[in-house]
């Protein structure tokens, strides 16, 4: 049984889960969402009916002026190159973003993380949208969009899109219908750039998920997780047995494993493109985007770690990446930070061969990823059940969390796909998933 408090950690990671709105409303009760171009819960979509929901508009039809706000508030485009403005976003998210029930853990965003997450190639300042109190200038709400190209593998349809993230409203301004205003304003700003589709994830159920994935976690430093109070000792176990269970080798096992370098990008792009054919919905990457997302861009952000396996002939056969986003631990005498890694994109040419060999390869790669992650102070390694993660989750000793993450597309209907879990039991489905996109 995964320890109770690790479950809470997973809830925390599952954005929005803490809102306790798991109870699904009827479509008609979604006063805002029922007015938006999103599929209804009972819409049945087949491959031949996939496509935009509303394709009637051009940028000329979109108002040039921002949506009206109540007079005490004003729109404020955030300059993420400004340290003081990033500090304000940090402060807002730190105090008001997602937290566990006891408010013991909080995301510890760094400026570097924000710049990596908010400034990929094609980023627009206009898409980092804040709301301030007019009189005090205090930042009280935020939402962000970044460009992303999505592709449906079965139909071959490409969808120029944005990914929406970091929607956050000050706790004192909740339930005042400000979220729909933020969402409509970011939609307006994106539409002005002739982009009509978006992808986003949330713990809560909205009309209508493309798929639902589950969080899983793998303790790397069981003792520390126990120290900070969210890893309970099962009654039939000893501490030593738990530490031994999660012990990892000191060094990686796969011959030829090394950090990704800029010279590898083209080869990794080809490997990733072939590997991604396994999934139904994927993100495609230009070389510039690969440099940003996997090497940390010009700044070489250290929040993203990427590795490749180079065989004896100099060919790259495998690739994996994960990003680091620690938690601040409140009110603990021993530790004030928890290292957390999230599995990001990966690819392996073994996927083209026998399933057993592929599955074993994935387990080895993920174990190696975790060995490298220990060097960066990672205490717990998380993965969703998207991609082919369900093929290694059990063997690599990941525990199932109770946090669910729903994936959504705005203004595009697609056939629902597997999220790597059984729709009824929510247990891991060893057939893998159709979702190839990873958002953070
Ligand atoms: C083409 C370009 C398109 C671009 C846009 C694409 C869409 C992007 C969509 C956004 C993707 C974001 C991805 C992320 O960042 S997910 C992370 C969300 N953030 C958090 O969970 C942080 C903590 N919570 C908060 O800050 C607030 O509770 C938020 C801001 C979440 C809601 O504020 P508040 O609690 O004060 O509510 P309200 O009175 O203003 O508004 C109530 C309405 O808002 C609907 N609601 C509630 N939560 C969410 C949610 N997570 N996604 C979409 N809709 C949400 C809700 O169903 C209701 O509508 P309806 O039920 O009446 O219909």
Q: Do residues 219 and 380 touch, judged by C-beta distance below 8 A?
A: yes
Distance CA 16, CA 20 (A): 8
CA dihedral 110, 115, 118, 121 (to 10 degrees): -150
Percent of the chain with pLDDT strictly greater than 70? 93
The phi and psi torsions of 131 (rounded to 5 degrees) equal -125, 130
Mean pLDDT, to the nearest integer, of 15-19? 39
In the numeric block, the tokens 């199932």 are attached to: 400
Say whether pLDDT at 415 is over 90: yes
Q: Is 308 in the pocket of ligand 1 (CB under 6 A)?
A: no
Of 4-18, 240-254, 388-402, 414-428, which range is least confident?
4-18
Give the Å distances, CA to CA, from 254 to 251, 258, 309.
Answer: 10, 10, 7
Helix 265-275 to helix 287-295 angle (10° resolution) is 100
Structure token digits, residue 309: 């396996």
Helix 83-96 to helix 111-118 angle (10° resolution) is 100
Of 9-23, 58-72, 386-400, which range is least confident?
9-23
Q: Is the pTM of this model over 0.90?
A: yes
pLDDT in tens, 242-253: 999 999 999 999
**Which residue minimizes the CA distance to atom 37 of ligand 1?**
175
Ligand 1 centre to CA of 436 (Å) is 24
Say whether pLDDT at 22 is over 50: no
In the numeric block, the tokens 């479509």 are attached to: 27
Q: Is 303 in the pocket of ligand 1 (CB under 6 A)?
A: no
Say whether pLDDT at 14 is over 90: no
Q: Is 229 in the pocket of ligand 1 (CB under 6 A)?
A: no
The CA angle 195-198-200, to the nearest 5 degrees, is: 160
pLDDT computed for residue 402 by the predictor: 75
Nearest to 306 by CA among 220, 209, 373: 373
Q: Is 168 in the pocket of ligand 1 (CB under 6 A)?
A: yes
Instruction: Report which ligand 1 atom has the smallest distance to the Cα of 143.
Output: 15
Q: Is 202 in the pocket of ligand 1 (CB under 6 A)?
A: yes
Three-class secondary structure of residue 113 per DSSP: helix
Q: Is 162 in the pocket of ligand 1 (CB under 6 A)?
A: yes
Q: How far apart are the first and last CA of the chain?
A: 26
Structure token digits, residue 96: 């008001």
pLDDT in tens, 35-85: 999 999 999 999 999 999 999 999 999 999 999 999 999 999 999 999 999
pLDDT in tens, 188-218: 999 999 999 999 999 999 999 999 999 999 9
Q: Is 198 in the pocket of ligand 1 (CB under 6 A)?
A: yes
Distance CA 109, CA 94 (A): 8
pLDDT in tens, 350-383: 999 999 999 999 999 999 999 999 999 999 999 9
Distance CA 89, CA 91 (A): 5
Mean pLDDT, to the nearest integer, of 392-405? 91
Instruction: Report which ligand 1 atom has the smallest distance to the Cα of 16.
Output: 21
pLDDT in tens, 255-288: 999 999 999 999 999 999 999 999 999 999 999 9
185 contacts: CB under 8 Å, gap ≥ 6 = 66, 67, 75, 129, 143
């Amino acid at each position: 049984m995964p320890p109770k408090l690790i479950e809470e950690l997973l809830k925390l990671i599952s954005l929005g889960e803490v809102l306790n709105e798991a109870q699904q409303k009827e479509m008609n009760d979604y006063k805002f969402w029922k007015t938006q171009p999103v599929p209804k819960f009972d819409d049945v979509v087949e491959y031949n009916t996939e496509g935009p929901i509303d394709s009637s508009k051009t940028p000329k039809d979109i108002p040039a002026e921002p949506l009206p706000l109540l007079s005490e508030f004003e729109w404020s485009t955030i300059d993420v190159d400004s340290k003081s403005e990033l500090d304000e976003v940090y402060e807002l998210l730190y105090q008001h973003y997602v937290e566990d029930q006891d408010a013991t853990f909080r995301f510890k965003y760094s400026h570097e993380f924000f710049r990596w997450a908010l400034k990929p190639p094609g980023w627009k300042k206009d898409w980092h949208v804040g709301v301030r109190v007019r009189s005090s200038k205090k930042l009280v709400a935020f939402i962000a969009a970044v460009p992303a190209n999505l592709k449906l593998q079965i139909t071959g349809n490409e969808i120029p899109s944005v990914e929406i993230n970091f929607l956050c409203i000050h706790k004192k301004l909740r339930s005042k219908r400000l979220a729909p205003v933020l969402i409509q304003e970011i939609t307006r700003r994106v539409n002005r750039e002739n982009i009509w589709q978006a992808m986003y994830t949330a713990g809560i159920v909205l009309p209508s998920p493309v798929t639902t994935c589950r969080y899983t976690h793998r303790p790397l430093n069981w003792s520390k997780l126990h120290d900070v109070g969210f890893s309970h000792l099962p009654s039939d176990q000893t501490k030593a047995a738990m530490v031994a269970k999660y012990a990892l080798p000191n060094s990686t096992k796969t011959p030829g494993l090394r950090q990704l370098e800029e010279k590898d990008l083209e080869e990794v792009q080809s490997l990733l493109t072939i590997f991604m054919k396994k999934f139904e919905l994927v993100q495609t990457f230009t070389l510039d985007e690969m440099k940003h997302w996997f090497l940390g861009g010009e700044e070489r952000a250290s929040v993203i770690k990427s590795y490749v396996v180079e065989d004896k002939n100099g060919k790259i056969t495998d690739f994996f990446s994960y990003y680091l986003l620690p938690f601040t631990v409140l009110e603990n005498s021993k530790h004030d930070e928890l290292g957390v890694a999230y599995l990001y994109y990966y690819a392996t040419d073994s996927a083209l061969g026998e399933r057993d060999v592929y599955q074993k390869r994935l387990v080895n790669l993920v174990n190696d990823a975790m060995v490298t992650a220990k060097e960066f102070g990672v205490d717990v390694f998380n993965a969703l059940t998207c991609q082919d993660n369900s093929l290694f989750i059990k063997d690599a000793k990941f525990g199932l969390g109770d946090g669910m993450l729903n994936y959504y597309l705005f203004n595009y209907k697609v056939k629902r796909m597997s999220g790597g879990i059984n729709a009824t039991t929510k247990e891991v489905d060893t057939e893998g998933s159709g979702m190839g996109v990873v958002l953070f």
